[in-house]
Amino acid sequence: MDAHTRFSGVLRSRKARDTNELVSLSAALIAHGTELDVSSVAAMIPQLDAAHIST
């Protein structure tokens, strides 16, 4: 979906460097939109740790 809409590029003002950057951005949006803390969202996505999301 992001490749079609280029949402992450507009949000970050540049293309993502890799897949982890896209996943981190999506996780941060989930955390913000649901008011979950970063560690809770990180627990849902095994490939990320909380530091990647909060950055």
Mean pLDDT of all residues belonging to the chain: 87
Residues of the chain with pLDDT under 70: none
Contact 13, 34 (CB under 8 A): no
Question: What was the pLDDT predicted at 33?
Answer: 92
The residue extents of the domains of the chain are 17-54
Rounded Cα distance, 25 and 53, in Å: 7
Question: What was the pLDDT predicted at 22?
Answer: 87
Query: What is the percentage of the chain residues whose pLDDT exceeds 70?
Result: 100
Rounded Cα distance, 52 and 40, in Å: 13
pTM > 0.95: no
